[in-house]
Copies of this chain bind each other. A is one copy, B any other.
Amino acid sequence: MKDSSPVGTTDHVEATRTPTKSPSISSRSLICSAINETRAASHIARQAGQRVGLVPTMGALHEGHLSLVRAARTQSDFVIVSIFVNPLQFGPKEDLSNYPRTFERDRALLEKEGVDLIFAPSDAEMYPRGAVTYVNVEGLSERLDGLSRPGHFRGVTTVVSKLFHIAEPDKAFFGQKDAAQVAIIKRMVRDLDMAVEIVVCPIVREPDGLAMSSRNAYLDPYQRKQALVLSRALNRVQELFEGGEREARLLIAAGEEVFRGEPAVRLDYVSVVDRDSLEPLEQAESGALLAVAAYVGATRLIDNALLGS
Binding site for B on A (CB under 8 A): 35, 39, 130-140, 157-158, 161-162, 165-166, 168, 187-188, 190-195, 277
Pick 22 A–B contacts, CB within 8 A, sort by A.
A39-B195, A130-B187, A130-B277, A131-B190, A131-B191, A132-B137, A132-B139, A132-B191, A133-B136, A133-B137, A133-B157, A133-B191, A133-B192, A134-B135, A134-B138, A135-B135, A135-B192, A161-B192, A162-B191, A162-B192, A165-B193, A166-B193
User: Which residue in chain B gives the minimum CB-CB distance to A138?
Assistant: B132
Instruction: Let me know if A195 and B134 touch, CB within 8 A.
Output: no
Q: Quick one: copies of this chain in the complex?
A: 2
User: Which residue in chain B gives the minimum CB-CB distance to A133?
Assistant: B191
Instruction: Give the docked Cα–Cα distance between A135 and B134 (Å).
Output: 6
Instruction: Let me know if A35 and B193 touch, CB within 8 A.
Output: yes
**Interface of A: prevailing SS:** mixed
User: Which residue in chain B gives the minimum CB-CB distance to A42?
Assistant: B195
With known contacts A132-B187, A133-B187, A187-B133, A165–B192 Cβ distance under 8 A: yes
Instruction: Let me know if A140 and B135 touch, CB within 8 A.
Output: no
User: Which residue in chain B gives the minimum CB-CB distance to A184?
Assistant: B133
Neighbouring B residues of A131 by C-beta, 8 Å: 190-191
Chain B: minimal CB distance from A191 (Å): 4
User: Which residue in chain B gives the minimum CB-CB distance to A188?
Assistant: B133
Instruction: Give the docked Cα–Cα distance between A166 and B189 (Å).
Output: 12
A194: contacting residue among B132, B140, B165, B195, CB under 8 A: B165
Instruction: Give the docked Cα–Cα distance between A225 and B65 (Å).
Output: 66
